[in-house]
Amino acid sequence: MFISSLEDMEKIVSERRYLHWDGWVVVQTFPSDKARTSKFGLLRNGRWCIQKRFVPGKQGWNISEKILIVKKEQRESK
């Protein structure tokens, strides 16, 4: 799914703790012991994580719909 609006993308990133910005690139991270030797490994806040980078193109950021789905438990806790 393409997100073309910067405001929409900023809202998505701010609502998900596993997403952060690296310039214009949105980075998804999750902890993994394998990250230390992976080409996608990233040391973030003292923990090794695997990263997936979403680089904006002409249509915006191509983000997986799985990332955009908010779980029921998360919605009820807010």
The 10s digit of each residue's pLDDT in 40-55 is: 999 988 999 999 999 9
Helix, strand, or coil (residue 77): helix
Q: What is the b/e burial string over 61-76, where b = at least 16 CB atoms within 10 angstroms of the residue's CB?
A: bebeeeeeeeeeeeee
Q: What is the mean pLDDT of the chain?
A: 88
Provide φ and ψ at 24, rounded to 5°: -95, -5
Q: Going by C-beta distance under 8 Å and a sequence separation of 6 or more, which residues neighbour residue 54?
A: 25, 26, 27, 28, 61, 62, 63
State if pTM tops 0.85: no
